[in-house]
Structure 1
Amino acid sequence: MKQYVFTILLTAGLTFVLAWAVWRLSLKYKLYPGIRERDVHKTPTPRLGGVAMFLGVLAAFAVSAQHPFFSIVWADPQQIYALLGATALIVVVGVLDDLWDLDWMIKLGAQFLAAGVIAWFGDLQIYALPIGGLAVGSSWVSFTLTVFAIVVVMNAVNFIDGLDGLVAGVCLIANSVFFAYSYMLVRDQGESSFFNLASFIAAVLIGACVGFLPLNWSPARLFMGDSGALMLGLLMACSAIAVTGNINPAMIGDNDEFGRSQLLGAFIPILLPVVVVLLPLLDFGLAVVRRMSKGKSPFSPDRKHLHHRMLDMGHSDRDAVLIFYAWTALVSLSVLLMYIGTTLEWPGDYLFGVFYGVLGVAACLVVTFLPSRRRSHAAAADRELAPALENTAR
């Protein structure tokens, strides 16, 4: 564990220093676009924070290559090189878009290219789905499924990047939970290059988010931009695929391997990677349906994302971000507790996770919709006072 803690601290420290340098250089050379109609912030702010995050991630991988503990991660160097090469490609395209607003077709093409590099040259694919021994039928099906999964997660994470500290905080929570899960898989199932790679990627992303968040917290001095959000989505998708797509389905049938609940054990490897990005996926899905129903491109920008709706409900920027944090922690920790309950044979097995989830949902719903009630009461009070004020004016 101490090697992972060192990785997190190293990545966080380097990312913070690099982010500060990128911020200062961006201000000096005015490397920031103007305010767009859909933007929440009112002051032009640099969007090149993703560059600092990428360099921090790159440095962490370089250091790990020299550490014997991470030799299993580097068991297949071509896989790592393909992953980093695809990440570099997506960061470059993201930077160009942050500076000059590229056409969405160019960005989407680059995303498919990056995902294809990982799946083809990196051989990081969804080979099996751990549900009742279900294996992917052919190499082309595996390749296609992997590419689409990576592209969807990249765009899902990018779509929620609209408030100060939102993406960095959500990804910090999600990767922390996923790191705990993948680390426990190594403990329960034994050493695996895929499981260790998933743990390492999650640890690196935790560090990158921790290091970037101080400059991105409201009021933000630096945004991660498309380069940072797409990078986070890409690496999170690869971390999930390294676990879910490479678990031997035969293990699921053995109750001693995945806990006493065979059904739960079968679904957790798929469920947890999904729930840690549930809010981004939900926002992405709603945006695609909303835009296509109006005959627009699914990537045409608008101001109707979930975080925009939270602001319209009466939440402040910071409150909306904290509520997103709460929902992310709720759904991801609930599933993680179910897994812990079955593997450690807690009383009630996964029911503890269900109980936590029910209480958390109730609390989050109250906090989420409270501003609407406040605003409705304020509006009613204004309507009652209006006649009196009108008479006074007369």
Structure 2
Amino acid sequence: MREYLLVFLVAGTVTYLLTVVAREIALRTGAVAQVRDRDVHVEPIPYLGGIAMLGGLVAAYLVARELPFLSLSDPFVFRDAGVVLLAGALVCAVGVLDDIFDIDALTKLGGQVLAAALLVVFGVRFYFFPQLDGEQFSLDPAQGALLSVIVVIATINAVNFVDGLDGLAAGVVGIGAVAFFLFSYFLASENELTLATTAALLTASLAGACAGFLPHNFHPARLFMGDSGSMLIGLVLSASTLTITGQFAGNEITSDGNPIFVTILPLLLPASLLMVPVADLVLAVVRRTRAGRSPFSPDKQHLHHRLLEIGHSQRRAVYIMWMWAALVAGGSVVVSLFGGQATWWGLGAAFAFVLVMTFVVPVLHRPRSSSANSGLPETL
């Protein structure tokens, strides 16, 4: 655990420091988010935060290779992690081009498919799913490849869709990375398997990169991650789930928690970790197609926009969506690892708390119009 903590700190520190470099590059290349009707920021903000996050991930990877415990892990741990970072660099490069030149949606999708295909070609994909009887359901190469590409692309676009408020995407993905790290770490520990896994290494690094980026990105943001960052962290998070079924045999994965969750979590974990942005993505596609528009056409009806409409300040809206992400991601992991009524009562209490924060607080604490026009910083 101490080495993973060091990996987290290295990724966070390097990302934090590189944001200054990324901001300068963005200003020099004109990669700046101009103010549009659907946006909530009121002045142009530089993009290219993904460059800093990629630097943090690579630094954490290089440091991990030299640590006493992780350096002695099976060779495929770092091999698979390297493949994920290579695919991440590819999709980050596509995002950089979009941040600078505003490329079309079809070209971006092509880059996402290419990055996902790179993962599959080098063996980072779904191989099997454990069944309730202790056996495993194996996927043939075509099935595993197709399912892996779909999960990766869906997660990338879910993160991209939710990236609409300062600190929102970085916080949601950071929470998801922490939850998945705990899942992979404690699942291996509970089954007395090696704690040095690709999933744990990648998610510890990803959580650190998100934490290091947040001080620059939280409201009022000085730097946006842009598509270079949102597509990068979406790919790394989804790829982390793919590595689980390549690490262990199906009959090795057991748990004291709900066996159904353990069975389906490798497939549903990206969706559960990103339930908020995935729900936003689905609603946006349905809303736009019903209106006869492209599902990629932008609008101002995302979930975070609706939270602002019902009376939340921008910071509080971000906190609310972080809480929903933590509830869904953390709840899925807790239920899969631990059983008992106390678990369900705890999740029920957490759900009630988040529900009150979402719908009751804005009624009791509406922002005052005078403070909104005074130039004072937003508070809770």
Pair 1:42–1:260, CA change in 2 (3 A): closer
Residue aligned with 2:37, SS: coil
Query: Which residue does 1:324 correspond to in 2?
Result: 321
Pair 1:7–1:319, CA change in 2 (3 A): same
Are residue 304 (structure 1) and residue 301 (structure 2) matched?
yes
Q: Distance in 2 between matches of 1:374 and 1:165?
A: 25
Which residue identity is paired with 2:26?
S
Pair 1:241–1:99, CA change in 2 (3 A): same
Question: 1:215-252 deviations in whole A, cap 9, x for unaligned?
Answer: 00100000001111111110000111222576533346
Which residue identity is paired with 1:356?
G
Pair 1:144–1:214, CA change in 2 (3 A): same
> 1:45 deviation in Å?
0.2
Which residue identity is paired with 2:309?
D
Question: 1:35-65 deviations in whole A, cap 9, x for unaligned?
Answer: 2222110100001111111111112112223
Q: TM-score, normalised by structure 1?
A: 0.85
Contact 2:91 2:231 in 1 (8 A): yes
Contact 2:65 2:78 in 1 (8 A): no
Q: 1:289 aligns with which of 286, 290, 295?
A: 286
Query: Which residue does 2:216 correspond to in 1?
Result: 215
Contact 1:12 1:207 in 2 (8 A): yes
Query: Which residue does 1:389 correspond to in 2?
Result: none
Pair 1:84–1:288, CA change in 2 (3 A): same
Matched residue pairs, number?
Answer: 366
Residue aligned with 1:135, SS: strand
Query: Which residue does 1:51 correspond to in 2?
Result: 51
Q: Distance in 2 between matches of 1:53 and 1:89?
A: 14
Q: How does 1:115-134 map to 2 (within 5 A)?
A: 115-121=116-122, 123-132=123-132, 133-134=135-136
> 1:107 deviation in Å?
0.3
Q: Distance in 1 between matches of 2:363 and 2:355?
A: 12
Contact 2:23 2:49 in 1 (8 A): yes
Pair 1:191–1:134, CA change in 2 (3 A): closer
> 1:332 deviation in Å?
2.1
Query: Which residue does 2:37 correspond to in 1?
Result: 37
Contact 1:48 1:224 in 2 (8 A): yes
Pair 1:272–1:93, CA change in 2 (3 A): closer
Unaligned runs of 5+ in 1: 343-348, 379-394
Query: Which residue does 2:175 correspond to in 1?
Result: 173
Query: Which residue does 1:94 correspond to in 2?
Result: 95
Pair 1:315–1:77, CA change in 2 (3 A): closer
Pair 1:28–1:76, CA change in 2 (3 A): closer
> 1:33 deviation in Å?
3.8
Pair 1:357–1:108, CA change in 2 (3 A): same
Query: Which residue does 2:373 correspond to in 1?
Result: none
Query: Which residue does 2:13 correspond to in 1?
Result: 13
Are residue 275 (structure 1) and residue 272 (structure 2) matched?
yes
Which residue identity is paired with 1:370?
V
Query: Which residue does 1:79 correspond to in 2?
Result: 80
Query: Which residue does 1:357 correspond to in 2?
Result: 347
Which residue identity is paired with 1:175?
A
Contact 1:45 1:223 in 2 (8 A): yes
Q: Distance in 1 between matches of 2:31 and 2:325?
A: 32
> 1:281 deviation in Å?
1.2
Q: Which moved more, 1:216-225 or 1:65-74?
A: 65-74
Pair 1:28–1:340, CA change in 2 (3 A): same
Contact 2:46 2:222 in 1 (8 A): yes
Contact 1:126 1:136 in 2 (8 A): no
> 1:92 deviation in Å?
0.7
Pair 1:191–1:215, CA change in 2 (3 A): same
Which residue identity is paired with 1:189?
N
Q: Which moved more, 1:282-291 or 1:21-30?
A: 21-30
Q: Distance in 2 between matches of 1:248 and 1:209?
A: 31
> 1:317 deviation in Å?
0.5
Which residue identity is paired with 1:187?
S
Q: Distance in 2 between matches of 1:210 and 1:96?
A: 25
Contact 1:335 1:353 in 2 (8 A): no
Contact 1:47 1:222 in 2 (8 A): yes
Query: Which residue does 2:376 correspond to in 1?
Result: none
Q: Which moved more, 1:204-213 or 1:281-290?
A: 281-290
Pair 1:158–1:312, CA change in 2 (3 A): same
Which residue identity is paired with 1:21?
V
Contact 2:216 2:223 in 1 (8 A): yes
Contact 1:126 1:241 in 2 (8 A): yes
Residue aligned with 1:223, SS: coil
| Aligned alpha-carbon RMSD (Å) | 2.6
Which residue identity is paired with 1:69?
F
Q: Distance in 1 between matches of 2:83 and 2:325?
A: 30
Q: Which moved more, 1:82-91 or 1:331-340?
A: 331-340
